[in-house]
Every structure is written in C-alpha cells, then in structure tokens.
Amino acid sequence: MAAQRPFSLRAFAVKTLSRWLGVNTRGYDAGRWGRFSREASMGRTAQETMQAAPQIRSRARYFAGNDGHAAAAVAALVTYAVGAGAMPANANSELVDSFTNDWWNVCDADGRTDFGGLIALMVRALVIDGECFAVFVNTADGLRLRLYPAEQIDESLTRDLGGGAFIAGGVEFGPDGTRRAYHIQPFAPTQQFDTYAPPVRIDAADVLHLMRPVGVGQVRGVSWLAPTMLKLHDLGLLNDALLKGFQVAAAHAGFLTDTGGSSALPFDGEKDGDALDVSLEPGVVRRLPPGMDIKFNAPHPQSQSIEFRTSIVEEISAALGVPAFMVSGNVSRANYSSLRAALLTFKAALEALQFNVLVPQALAPIWRRFAITEALRNGADVGDPDLNCEWRFPAMPSADAVKDVQATTLMLDAKLMSRREAIAARGETIERVDADIAADPHAQEQETESEDSNA
C-alpha cells in the first residue's frame, strides 16, 4: 500500500484559491498567467469567455500594436471584409440615395470618419477585442452612431434581478432570455484613470453588439487572436534568438592562437607600445608574429530555422483564417494555383463573416433604424419593403482577372447567371452600373459600334 502524502495547508490553500479564481481551470491558454494548466479543459462558453476575455483582450491589443504578423493579419481581415464600406442595394431608391449620399458622411457622432470608416473600426475591434458596441444617438442634426470599446460595458456587473431576469457581464436579459439593456460605464476622453461611477442603463434597441459567437450561450466576445498568442510569443522568442546568434557571429571575425606557447604578446595586442594590427580589410595581406596562428569564427546556422519559423507563421495564419502570404508578406513560394486556392478559401470565410455576423448584427439594424428615422422625419408610413435591403461588399482581388471575366461571360451566355448576380459579385449594383454606362459617352459609342458590326 502506497504511503499517503502529508497534508499541506499551504498547498491546499493555493489550490483552492486558484480554482476559486479560475486560474487553473480557465480554458483559454491566452488568458492564463502560466503557459498551460495541469489539466486542459474548457468549461461553459459563457463563463469561460467572460472570465478570460479581459486578459486576452489586453494581450491581443499588445500583439496587434507591436507584432508585425498580428498587425498584418488584422489589417487583411479588416481590409478584405469591408474595404471602403458595404453598400445597401435592392431597396427604396430614395432611401438608398439618402443613405449613401447624405447620411454616409455624417453618421459618426464623433465626426471623425464616415460610415465605411465606422464599419472598419467595428470589424477591427471585433478581431482584436472580440466584440464592439455601437449606440444610436438622436441629435439635433439627425441620427448618429457612437462606438464604445468592450471595457466600457461593465464586465463586473453580474447579478440576478428576480423573476427570471438577470445581468451577465453588463448585459441585461429578460425572463424570456432576450437582451433588454446594456450597462455602459461613463467615460471622458480626457480621463486618465478609471474612477467609480454607476453604469448607465441603455435599452438594447439602441445598442449594436458586434460579436462572432464561438459557442451556444455566449454573452461577451473573445479576441480572435486568442488561439495565436502562444505562437506569436514563440515566434518573437525565435526571432530574438536568431538575431542574437547573428550578432554574436558578426562580433568576432577570428581568434589568434599561440601554437608554440612561446609568444610574449599580451592579450590586448600591444608590445612595447606598438599595436599588433591584424584587422581585416579588403585587399590587405597581413603577416602574423612568430608562433601565432589565426582561426576564423565560422558559426553554424541553426538547422532548419527558416522552415521552423515559416511553419509558425503558417499556424498563425491558419488560426486566423488568413492566407499565409498576407501575414508574412512573402509570395516567393506562391504560384497561381496556390494563390487562387488561398483566395477562394479566404473569400468563403469572409462571406461567412459578412452575412452571418456583420449583416444581422450591425448592417441590417442600422438600415432599419435609418429607414424608420427617415420615415418619421418625413411624416410617411414605414412599410416592410423599406425596412429590408441587400448589402454589397467590395469584391475580393482576383488572381487572374481575365480568366474570371471569361468564366463569367460563359455563365451569362449559358444563362446560369444573371447580370444582377454577376455585378453583385463585384460589389456593385446593376442600377449603379447601368447608370454609369448610360452617362459614359465612350461606352455608348462602343455599344453603337457593336450593334453596327452585328448588323
């Protein structure tokens, strides 16, 4: 029978306290102080994300601001997901014109950017912080949007309200499980330190919460960089080690050795005030003193260091769903087939983000609020057709534009695609394209010449 380990009050206290604080049981490696826990496990999504999100968010902002690979990946996701901004289409033409020509440029309550810039900021916060909040603001000049960072929604506010209602991470839920309000902490741009002030309760109808859920029941978002942080840290250590190796190799060109053991030269290379000049210069022949030999420093590079570094970058890009060449900036190993395959996969992931997250959580509610506000301002009734619209996102870059156009032409000739669908794939609307063609004299001349040749 094995002997029992003696009871340690200190070990018991540390273990109990760690479990109570969620340190050893936290499921996100990026949210721990240590690299791995003794037992790898993941609890409920809502609890894990709310516990780990603040620490992960802080580290994600650090890597996005200091690590070139993380910054490149975030920039690629934001740029190709929204570009210059999504455009409404297939809705009331007057509303679309008012949205794109008027409200687009003044929608920012802070007056710093336009609608495309606001959506880009929201997506950037979605990737780095895991979530972003936007609040509708009714001003004397009309409807506006103001963005709030994740930490301003009181993450420490979690309590039961009775009757089945509760608050979790600053988000208030009703008895039926629907979101009723958000509790936002007041904050001034000139404020240097956090001060205690009761959060302000804002109705959920006036708040947009942009978040990509990773599990059922999730309340708050978690940074997309969470799966990559350990690799980003390892890559930084590897780069530092390789750089230090090159620095050490460059610091020593060679070493003088006394082959016979009879040399009287001091270590500093001086004798009787005369300097021993053995420095290396182009085209110079040196004569060594008697009994001296020289051995050149020839450090051996770390075997497969470049391949190992490349594999880490590929793991980082795979975790974020971004092509590796966009993260590393190196396209030397890419060819047409590999670039096309990577762009097609990236496009599919972006379309899932656009139509499963951006449209239902941000763009559709913004359009509905804008349409209702415009109808009330003009004293008109708001109909269902005005509250619905499609959204067009900028087209992805093509690996071979000529082949893509040829493929689209064949699809149109075979009646497997409509012009509206083909134009929508380019991020445009058929009405806008036809209007531009009608207003272009050169395009009209080409159409006339084409008709004459066919006749």
Q: How far apart are CA 250 and CA 56, in angstroms?
A: 39
The pLDDT of residue 104: 95
How many CB atoms are closer than 10 A to CB 348? Answer: 11
Kindly report, residue by residue over 43-61, the tens digit of the pLDDT.
Answer: 677 788 888 889 999 999 9
Beta strands in 125-235 (DSSP E): 131-139, 142-148, 159-162, 165-168, 171-173, 179-184, 200-203, 207-211
Q: How far is CA 93 from CA 142, 385, 432, in A?
A: 20, 11, 11
Distant-in-sequence, close-in-space partners of 413: CB < 8 Å, separation ≥ 6: none
Q: What percent of the chain has pLDDT over 70?
A: 73
Q: Which of 138-147, 416-425, 445-454 has the lowest mean pLDDT?
A: 445-454
Q: Which residues pair with 294 in a beta bridge?
A: 256
CA distance 90 to 334: 39
Answering whether pTM is above 0.85, one says no
Q: Is the pLDDT of residue 233 over 70?
A: yes
Asked whether the predicted pLDDT for residue 303 surpasses 90, the reply is: no
**pLDDT score at 353:** 95
Q: What is the pLDDT of residue 146?
A: 96
**What pLDDT is recorded for position 33?**
52
- pLDDT of amino acid 279: 67
What are the pLDDT digits (tens) for 11-39?
555 445 444 444 444 566 776 655 555 55
pLDDT tens readout for residues 47-99: 888 888 899 999 999 999 999 999 999 999 999 999 888 989 888 888 888 99
CB atoms inside a 10 Å sphere around CB 255? 10
CA distance 139 to 97: 21
Is the pLDDT assigned to residue 409 strictly greater than 80? yes
pLDDT for residue 268: 43
pLDDT for res 194: 63
Which range, 171-185, 252-266, 301-315, 390-404, is most confident?
171-185
Q: Residue 150's pLDDT is what? A: 93
Q: Taking 50 as the threshold, does the pLDDT of residue 8 lie above it?
A: yes
Q: Contact at 8 Å (CB) between 343 and 396?
A: yes
Q: How far apart are CA 256 and CA 248, in angstroms?
A: 18
3-state DSSP assignment of residue 306? helix
Closest CA to 153 of 170, 178, 136: 170
Give 133's pLDDT tier (boundaries 50, 70, 90).
Answer: very high
Mean per-residue pLDDT over the chain, rounded: 80
Rg (the chain; Cα; Å): 31
**Residue 376 CB partners (closer than 8 Å, separation 6+):** 382
Give the domain ranges of the chain.
16-189+196-236+305-397, 400-455
pLDDT at residue 92 in the model: 83
Q: Which of 79-83, 181-185, 263-267 has the lowest mean pLDDT?
A: 263-267
